[in-house]
Amino acid sequence: MNDQTPLNQNGAGTEDTYDVLHKNFSLFGDDDLPLDETDLKNNGEIYFSANADNQRQGIEFSDIDFARFYNPRARQQGAGVNRPNQAANNGPVNLAGAPRSNYNAYQSNGAYGTQRSGNPYSQGQRSAQQHAAKPAPAKSEAAATKTVKKKKKKKKVNRKGSFAKSLLLALVVLGFVVLASLVISDPVKSCMNDIIAIDRSSGQRMVVLEKDMTTDEVIDKLKDSGMIYSATFCKFASHILHFDQDDPSKAIYPAGSYLLSYDMGIEGMLKEIISNGEVVSTVKVSFPEGFTVDQIVERLASNGVASAASLYEAMNSDEIFEQYPFLQDMENRSERYRALEGYLYPDTYEFYLGENPQSVVKRFLDNFVSRWEAKFESMAADSGRSVDELIIVASILQKEANDPVQMRTIASIIYNRLESGYFAFINCDSTAKYIENRKEQLESEGAYEKYLALYDTYVKEDLPVGPICNPGEDAIIAALRPEDTDYYYFLHDSDGDLHPASSAAEHDANKARYLGN
C-alpha cells in the first residue's frame, strides 16, 4: 500500500515495527483501547502512517504517530513525544520518545514495560481523559475510504463462502442419511419403494375390488395382494398426496378388476383405479393335486391366461429364482426337466385374461410360500431334511398313494430304504413314468435317455433329481410325518388297496395273492 511505511529502529530492517508491536500488543493496555477505523489494516491489525509531504522532503520518520504507543514513565519525566520538527532536528525517533536504552529494553524483553511496577497501562487502567487526548493519526480521507471499502468487500465474500459451505455440508449429510437408510435398512427401503418404486419389477397383478372402497380400504387390499409393503406408510402418503377421504370423487373406488404394475407406486395404483383403469375380464382356473408343470401350463394357455411359451420362459428366468430363497438352495436346477416342478402349489386361482406370465408364476410360488410358512416350516425343521428333499418325497407320495393313510405308510417305506444302507434304489414306478409320458417329445430333442437316468428310481440311486409333480397338503404332511414301520416293500391290488411287506419273501407272496403273479 502507498500510504504505509515499514519501520524499525533504523528505519529499515528484517522486522517491521508493526510486526514487533503486533506481537507485543499487551504493551498498549487492555482490549478496551478504542481504535479508529483508519487505524486498522484489512485484517484488523494496527499500522502506522507516514505523511506523504514529509516523505517528499526526505524526512522518512517525520510524522510517525506514536501518540497511542508511548512510554508513560518517559512522559512523566518530561521526555514528551517527538514531533515532526523534533525528528528533523534530533534524528531517528525512539519508541514513544523514550531513551534509546528503553527501546533496546523493549526489544530484548519482548514486551516493553510489562515488568515495571506501577505502570497503570500494563494493568488496563488508562483514563478516559488520556483516551480523549490521543491525537488522530494522519491518514488521507481517500486512503481511509479505500481501506473501509476493501474491508467490507472481504467480509461480504466470507459470508457467501461460509453460507455456501454450510449449505453443501447440510446437503452432503442429508444425502448420506437418506442413502444409508435405503441401503442398510430393508424395511425403510421397502417403504420408500411403495412410493417411488425405484427397485420394483414391471410385473403385473390383477387386483379385484369387490365393492366401492375408500382409499384406506383399497390400500389394505393392495397390501393383502402383495402390491405394497407397508399399508400404514402408504395411507400416510395418500393423505399427503391429497387422496382425501372426504372427497367422494377421490376417495371412492369402483368395484371391478384392475390390472396394476408393481412399479407404479402407490400413487400410480390409486390413480389407475380412480380413472377406472383397464377393467379386465377374469377367469378362475383350478389345478388338482399332482398336476405337473406341463399340465398346469396347458390349462393356463387353454383358458387364455398366457401363452405356453411365455410361461415356460418366465419359469426359467433368473429373476424368479432370485426372489425366492428356497429356490436359491436348489443345487441341480439345470439337470431338472422342469425346474419349478413341485413348487406350483395346486389350488384354484383367479387370473385375468392376458396376464403377465411372471405374475402368473409368482401367484403359484407365493401361495406355496404362504402355505409352507403357515403349516409346514416348523415340522420341516424337526425332520432334519431340506425343503427340496421333502417336496421330492411328497411328489412321489402324491403319485403312488390313493389316500393320506397310504401316503404315510409309503413315506415310511421310502425313508426305510434310504436309511437302511442295504437298498440302493427306492424302485417307485411313478418316477420312471414322469419321463416316459414325455418320451416322444424328449426323443425328438435327444434328451429322453438323459432325463430317464436322472428320474427313474430303478436306475437312479436314492431319490430322483427333482419332484415329479406338484404335491398337495396331505402328501407334504405325510413326507414330514411318516408312519413308523419296518416295511421295505409295497404294492396295490386291483381295488387300489395297499399291501406293504417287511421282506422280499413276504412281498412275493403279496404279488402272487393280489396280482396273480
- With CA atoms as reference, report the closest residue to 248 among 210, 274, 221, 218: 274
User: Are the C-beta atoms of 266 and 219 separated by less than 8 Å?
Assistant: yes
> What pLDDT does residue 155 have?
42
pLDDT, averaged in runs of 10, over the chain (517 residues): 45 46 44 47 44 47 44 45 43 44 43 42 44 49 47 46 57 57 62 71 75 83 85 82 57 74 84 70 92 98 94 92 87 93 96 85 94 89 90 98 97 96 94 96 95 97 97 97 97 96 96 90
Integer Cα distance of 451 and 464 in angstroms: 10
Q: Is 442 contained in some domain?
A: yes
Helix locations, 66-185, DSSP H: 72-76, 84-90, 100-109, 128-132, 141-184
Q: Is 12 contained in some domain?
A: no
Strand partners, 213: 253
Q: Which residues of 349-388 are buried (b: 16+ CB within 10 A; e: fewer)?
A: bebbeebbbbbbbbbbbbbbbebbeeebeeebeeeebebb
433 and 396 in a common domain: yes
Q: Is 78 contained in some domain?
A: yes
Q: Is 296 contained in some domain?
A: no
Dihedral, CA atoms, 106, 110, 115, 119, nearest 10 degrees?
A: 60
Q: Is 487 contained in some domain?
A: yes
Out of 82, 110, 139, pick the residue that ends a domain.
139
Distances from the Cα of 56 to the Cα of 52, 89, 141, 290, angstroms: 6, 17, 19, 115
Q: Is 347 contained in some domain?
A: no
Out of 218, 239, 274, pick the residue that ends a domain.
274
Q: Is 201 contained in some domain?
A: yes
Out of 274, 292, 318, pick the residue that ends a domain.
274
> What pLDDT does residue 310 have?
94
28 and 123 in a common domain: yes
391 and 490 in a common domain: yes
476 and 452 in a common domain: yes
| Domain ranges, residue 104 | 17-139
381 and 507 in a common domain: yes
386 and 267 in a common domain: no
Q: Is 221 contained in some domain?
A: yes
Strands (E), 432-510: 489-492, 498-501
> What pLDDT does residue 449 have?
96
Q: Which residues of 125-137 are buried (b: 16+ CB within 10 A; e: fewer)?
A: ebeeeeeeeeeeb
pTM listed for this prediction? 0.53
End-to-end CA distance of the chain: 124
Computed on alpha carbons and rounded to an integer, the radius of gyration of the chain in Å comes to 48
Residue for grid cell 536504552:
101
Tally of CA atoms within 13 A in the half-sphere of 513 that contains its CB: 13
Look at the chain and report how many structural domains it folds into: 4
> What pLDDT does residue 119 have?
44
120 and 64 in a common domain: yes
Neighbour count for residue 304 (Cβ, 10 Å):
15
Helix locations, 41-140, DSSP H: 52-56, 72-76, 84-90, 100-109, 128-132
229 and 157 in a common domain: no
397 and 475 in a common domain: yes
488 and 404 in a common domain: yes
418 and 405 in a common domain: yes
70 and 127 in a common domain: yes
> What pLDDT does residue 214 have?
82
- What's the chain's length in residues? 517
